[in-house]
Amino acid sequence: MTKVTCQSLATDLARKAGTVHFNDAAPALVEAAIARKEGSLSVDGAFVTDTGQFTGRSPKDKFIVRDELTEKLVWWDNTAAMSRENFDALLADFTAGLEGAELFCQELYAGADLKHQLNVSVLTPSAWHALFIRNLLIRPARAALEGFAPDVTIIHNPAFKADLEKHGTRSGTVIALDLSRNIVLIGGTAYAGEIKKSVFSLFNFHAPSQGVLPMHCSANTGKGGDTALFFGLSGTGKTTLSTDPERVLIGDDEHGWSEDGVFNLEGGCYAKTINLSEKNEPEIFGATKAFGTVLENVAMDAQSRELDFNDGSRTENTRAAYPLYVLDNVSRTGTGQTPTNIVLLTADAFGVLPPIARLSPEQAIYHFLSGYTAKVAGTERGVTEPEATFSACFGAPFMSLHPTVYGRMLKKRIRESLAECWLLNTGWTGGPYGVGKRISIRDTRALLNAALSGALVNVPSRIDPVFGFKVPVEVPGVESRLLDPRETWADKGAYDRQSARLVGLFETNFEKFAAADAQIAEAGPRLAVAAE
Residue 384 and residue 274 share a domain: no
Residue 398 lies in a domain: yes
Alpha-carbon separation of residue 212 from 126, 208, 446 (angstroms): 33, 5, 32
Torsion sign over Cα 405, 112, 122, 44: positive
The active-site residue out of 156, 238, 272, 358 is 238
Query: Is 412 marked active-site?
Result: no
DSSP per-residue string spanning 1-20:
-PPP-HHHHHHHHHHHSSEE
Question: Helix-strand-coil percent breakdown of the chain, rounded to 5?
Answer: 35, 25, 40
Neighbours of 287 (CB within 10 A): 24
- Of the residues 197, 206, 255, 272, only one is catalytic, namely 197
Active-site position among 134, 319, 375, 411: 319
Domain assignment present for residue 486? The answer is: no
Domain stop point among 448, 478, 508:
478
For residue 93, the one-letter residue type is D
Residues 83 and 140 occupy one common structural domain: yes
Residues 464 and 361 in one domain: yes
Domain boundary among 258, 293, 326: 326
Concerning whether 305 is annotated as a catalytic residue, the answer is no
In this prediction, residue 386 carries a pLDDT of 75
Q: 384 — alpha (psi -120 to 50), left (phi > 0) or beta? A: alpha
Among 240, 132, 118, 277, residue whose Cα is nearest residue 191: 132
Residue 304 annotated to the active site: no
Find how far residue 139's CA is from the centre of its chain: 20
| Co-location of 288 and 425 in the same domain | no
Nearest to residue 195, comparing CAs of 141, 123, 264, 256? 123
Distance CA 37, CA 443 (A): 44
The values of phi and psi at residue 61, to 5°, are -105, 15
Same domain flag for 200 and 63: yes
Q: What is the pLDDT of residue 8?
A: 79
Query: Taking the CA atoms of the chain, what radius of gyration do you get in angstroms?
Result: 23
- CA 11 centroid distance within chain: 31
Residues spanned by the domain of 21: 6-38+53-210
Q: What is the pLDDT along the chain (532 residues), one digit of tens a residue?
A: 346 677 778 788 888 878 999 999 999 999 999 999 999 999 999 999 999 999 999 999 999 999 999 999 999 999 999 999 999 999 999 999 999 999 999 999 999 999 999 999 999 999 999 999 999 999 999 999 998 999 999 999 999 999 999 999 999 999 999 999 999 999 999 999 999 999 999 999 999 999 999 999 999 999 999 999 999 998 898 988 998 989 999 999 999 999 999 999 999 999 999 999 999 889 999 999 999 999 999 999 999 999 999 999 999 899 999 999 999 899 999 999 999 999 999 999 999 999 999 999 999 999 999 999 997 644 444 444 678 999 999 999 999 999 999 999 999 999 999 999 999 999 999 999 989 999 999 999 999 999 999 999 989 999 999 999 999 999 999 999 999 999 999 999 999 999 999 999 999 999 989 777 788 989 999 876 555 5
Residue at which a domain ends, from 160, 192, 210: 210
Considering the candidates 153, 227, 239, 346, report the single residue annotated as catalytic: 239
CATH number of the domain to which 446 belongs: 3.90.228.20
Instruction: Report how many domains make up the chain.
Output: 3
> Does the residue 15 lie in any domain?
yes
DSSP secondary structure letter of residue 507: H
Is 253 noted as a catalytic residue in this protein?
A: yes
Same domain, 471 and 373: yes
- Residues 427, 404 share a domain: yes
Let me know whether 348 and 316 are in one domain: no
pLDDT, tens digit, 9 for 90 and up, residues 433-447: 989 999 999 999 999
Q: Who contacts 68 (Cβ-Cβ below 8 Å, separation ≥6)?
A: 180
Are residues 57 and 206 located together in one domain of the fold?
Answer: yes
Is 153 among the residues known to form the active site? no
Give the CATH number of the domain where residue 282 resides.
Answer: 2.170.8.10
Residue in 253, 443, 464, 517 annotated catalytic: 253
User: Which residues make Cβ contacts (< 8 Å) with residue 206, sequence separation at least 6?
Assistant: 179
Q: What is the pTM of this model?
A: 0.93
238 is catalytic: yes
267 with 323: CB under 8 angstroms? yes
- Is 216 an active-site residue? yes
**CA 123/CA 126 separation, integer angstroms:** 9
Q: Is residue 197 part of a domain?
A: yes
- Rounded to an integer, what distance in angstroms lies between the CA atom of residue 180 and that of residue 465? 48
349 with 202, same domain: the answer is no
CATH number at residue 171: 3.40.449.10
Answer yes or no: do 295 and 345 share one domain: no
Given this model, what pLDDT does residue 380 score? 42
Whether 348 is in a domain gets the answer yes
Q: Are residues 307 and 347 in the same domain?
A: no
Instruction: Evaluate whether residue 513 is within a structural domain.
Output: no
Q: Per the domain annotation, does 421 fall within a domain? A: yes
pLDDT of residue 514: 79
pLDDT at 2: 45
Residue 500 domain-assigned (yes or no): no
